[in-house]
Chains A and B, each alone.
Chain A
Amino acid sequence: MKYIYNAINIIIAISVIVSQCGCKNSASSNYTNQNFSTPSIQTTHNSNALPSDLQDSMDATPNSPSSNDDNRNNITLSKVWEFEGIDSYYKPIVNGNNVIICGKNVLFNISKDTGKKNYESFLNFNYAVDFYTDSNIIAACNAKGFLEVTDVNTGNLLWTSGLIWKPATSFWITSMKAMEL
């Protein structure tokens, strides 16, 4: 009887070991089934992942110009404006029916449908690092902490501020606007 009991225990122990090995294998299989040769487009929910970490694991780009699913579509040129002083560093700003284009020290507000220039407004400093706009104002700042706020509809200067304890940034302008509100 004792031998039978020991034999049953041994069989149970072997079964447990085999089943545990099976679990480990299946879990490992789940991870190794990830396709690490996936394209450059990946989604991740790993908040610790850095862009460079992701890029290191990507080697194909099905949506690059060399891939088969590329398209080449035409778009229609509608208007071209040329203004001395604008700078391609700054984004065009669409504001209602107008578009605002910026230079280092100048703003142009033009009708986006007719092309008519509504105003040009010169800043009181020579090199804006960023512009912020909403439906009422355009704010510009320079690297020395000078802030200038202009009426977006007229181009008239509304107010300025020059006592900033650190170089102004777009974040700072946004903060200032929030404080104003």
Chain B
Amino acid sequence: METGNILLDYIYEGNGTITSVSQKDNTIFFTTGTDLVSIDKSGHNFTIYGLGMPVDGNLAVNGDEIYLTNSENKLFKYKID
């Protein structure tokens, strides 16, 4: 952030494309249109969270809570186990 240097360049090769990104502590969350995914800041510990719905909206992370919007006028609040 201070220098503008690229510290992490990550390519997601799953279905869909990255549509929204949020971060909490050492974890980066992103949505792909079909899934919610997290990686750590070094790009490891790839994790898919099965939500059972299209994840085509935007994302905010607050503590162990995740807020997601979708294109059907809905806001979902999830708790990470």
**Chain A positions near chain B (C-beta within 8 angstroms):** 39-47, 49, 51, 54-55, 58, 61-67, 69-94, 99, 101, 112
Query: Contacting A74 at CB < 8 Å: which of B7, B15, B49, B57?
Result: B49
Considering the chains assembled together, what is the distance between the CA atoms of A14 and B4 in angstroms? 48
Q: Which residue of A lies closest to B15 (CB)?
A: A65
CB distance from B16 to the nearest CB of A (A): 10
Considering the chains assembled together, what is the distance between the CA atoms of A73 and B14 in angstroms? 16
Q: A65-B48, A92-B68, A94-B62 are in contact. List 16 more A-B contacts (CB 8 A).
A: A42-B8, A43-B8, A44-B9, A47-B3, A58-B9, A61-B11, A62-B44, A73-B49, A73-B81, A75-B79, A78-B78, A81-B75, A82-B72, A86-B73, A92-B59, A94-B65
Q: Which residue of B lies closest to A63 (CB)?
A: B46
CB distance from A65 to the nearest CB of B (A): 4
Which A residues lie within 8 Å of B60 (CB)? 91-94, 99
Verify A75–B75 contact, CB threshold 8 A.
no
Interface secondary structure of B, over-half rule: loop
Given contacts A71-B45, A94-B67, A112-B65, contact A85 B9 (CB under 8 A): no
CB distance from B69 to the nearest CB of A (A): 4
Q: Which residue of B lies closest to A45 (CB)?
A: B5
Which B residues lie within 8 Å of A61 (CB)? 11-13
Q: Which of A58, A93, A99 has its CB near the most chain B CB atoms (within 10 A)?
A: A99
Given contacts A40-B10, A45-B5, A71-B45, contact A91 B20 (CB under 8 A): yes
Q: Which of A72, A80, A92 has its CB near the most chain B CB atoms (within 10 A)?
A: A92
Which B residues lie within 8 Å of A74 (CB)? 49-50, 81
Given contacts A80-B74, A94-B67, contact A65 B81 (CB under 8 A): no
Given contacts A45-B5, A65-B13, A90-B58, contact A71 B73 (CB under 8 A): no
Verify B48–A71 contact, CB threshold 8 A.
yes
What are 12 A-B residue pairs whose CB atoms fall within 8 Å in the complex?
A: A47-B3, A63-B44, A63-B45, A69-B45, A73-B47, A73-B49, A74-B49, A77-B77, A82-B73, A91-B20, A92-B60, A112-B65
